[in-house]
Amino acid sequence: MIEINKVAKSFASKKGTIEAVKSVSLTARDGQITGLLGPNGAGKTTTMRLLYGLLKPSRGSVRVDGVDIQEDKIGVRRRLGVLPDTRGLYPRLTARENVAYFAELNGLRPSDYEPELERLIDSLDMADFIDRRCEGFSQGQRTKTAIARSVIHRPQNIVLDEPTNGLDVMTTRGLRRFLLNCKAEGRCVVLSTHIMQEVAALCDHVVVIAKGEVMAQGSPESLKEQAQRDSLEDAFVHLIGSEEGLML
């Protein structure tokens, strides 16, 4: 379970202070997929970076399975699998070597991680390229490798920044099946997106973010009720107060 309590983050720039995240609170539960939905520049990536400890919040706190990230960063990272916005693979290593390297950084021996790696190759459909160097990989191949790498240590909590960005329909469907399977195993999945179909297809709990603040949160059904709209699309546009930057 991930609990974010009133986090804020601002950046200094030549033109003054940018308040990327003004105040975001949410709880992402085990056995659920929680979606952060918002237009471009809403503060999703910054919230994700605060969540996995890449950035330190200006205010507020983050707890993962009850552990405060500022008090025990390493303990929290062990409980987290992260797909960052920059996928960041080692181009000279094969996909298998990239995943194995991360498994070993997490203290696993080949006999510990190899069965899980085989399972991931199968469920993410990676057999065709697993033993190729990552240099020259397509976006889908890169994303799949980065996802396998982020979950090889079987973390209870999985955090993915725009996981289906640039993926084709078949790859997206495979990834959705994979995430639904993680949910069925009782894991906590958090993803950010600006694609509404993603939310409708996957999310149990949706946090609508715009301009660094939470505009509304709840199940897709409850968001329609809160906005008094019949479709999710209309509800989101109403809650955000603009259509800008959203993909319908």
Ligand X SMILES: Nc1ncnc2c1ncn2[C@@H]1O[C@H](COP(=O)(O)OP(=O)(O)OP(=O)(O)O)[C@@H](O)[C@H]1O
Site for ligand X, rule CB under 6 A: 11, 13, 18, 20, 38, 40-46, 194
Task: For the CB of residue 6, give the shortest distance to ligand X in the complex, in Å.
Answer: 17
Retrieve residue 153's tokens. 């240590």
Minimum CB distance to ligand X smaller for 20 or for 103: 20
d(CA 198, CA 226): 20
Minimum CB distance to ligand X smaller for 33 or for 37: 37
Closest to 42 (Cα-Cα) out of 169, 162, 141, 181: 162
Angle 139-151/110-123 helices, nearest 10 degrees?
Answer: 140
Upper half-sphere CA count for residue 120 (Cβ side, 13 Å): 24
Minimum CB distance to ligand X smaller for 11 or for 122: 11
**Is the Cβ–Cβ distance between 102 and 155 less than 8 Å?**
no
Closest to 191 (Cα-Cα) out of 161, 155, 214, 212: 161
Minimum CB distance to ligand X smaller for 8 or for 120: 8
Task: For the CB of residue 120, give the shortest distance to ligand X in the complex, in Å.
Answer: 26
